[in-house]
Amino acid sequence: MTQLFITTHRVEFFETDLAGIVHFANYYRFMEQAEHAFFRSLDLKIHDTLPDGTVFGWPRVAASCSFNSPARYEDEIEIRVSVSRRTKRSLTTTYLFRRGETTLATGEMKTAYCIVPAGGGLQSVDMPDDYFERLGRGLPDA
């Protein structure tokens, strides 16, 4: 069974539009916040600098979100994060947004593991083995 990470978010007033509904763009922020919490839960970093000055991170390759029902100010949203695909260089995570039994939205993000060596440009490389193992718990071997 694929590992599942669950977090919550309380909708703030500034995240809503004039009708009091969460503006669609905020779901992308919610996905990123949930992704960071998921990484922290695995004792992994989303961005850091290695001892040799190389910076690593996970730039987005693709992101999508489909909306089913509105969320409003003060709603507590449950966000379920799961890894749907993992390769040595990329990770695809899915997001399910719920308020109680109501599905609000579903989303997906594909990211690539990249480094920026000191004085160099962005390079896609294989993620470290510990990242690959921790992010793949519950996934079938590829």
Instruction: Examine residue 106 and state whether it is found in any structural domain, yes or no.
Output: yes
Among 7, 61, 76, CA closest to 39: 7
Q: Is residue 45 part of a domain?
A: yes
pLDDT for 140: 59
**φ, ψ (nearest 5 deg) of residue 50:** -80, 165
Where residue 129 sits, what CATH number does that domain have?
A: 3.10.129.10
80 domain-assigned? yes
61 lies in a domain? yes
Position 2 scores a pLDDT of 66
pLDDT (tens place) for every residue of the chain, 142 residues total? 467 899 999 999 999 999 999 999 999 999 999 999 999 999 999 999 999 999 999 999 999 999 999 999 999 999 999 999 999 999 999 999 999 999 999 999 999 999 998 888 999 999 999 999 999 876 655 4
Could you give the number of structural domains in the chain?
Answer: 1
Report pLDDT for 138: 65
Please tell me the predicted confidence (pLDDT) of residue 119: 83
Residue 141 is assigned to a structural domain of this protein: no
Q: Is residue 140 part of a domain?
A: no
Q: Is residue 142 included in any domain, yes or no?
A: no
The answer as to whether 20 is a domain residue is yes
- Domain span holding position 56: 4-135
Q: Please count the residues of the chain.
A: 142
Contact predicate 126/76, CB 8 Å: no
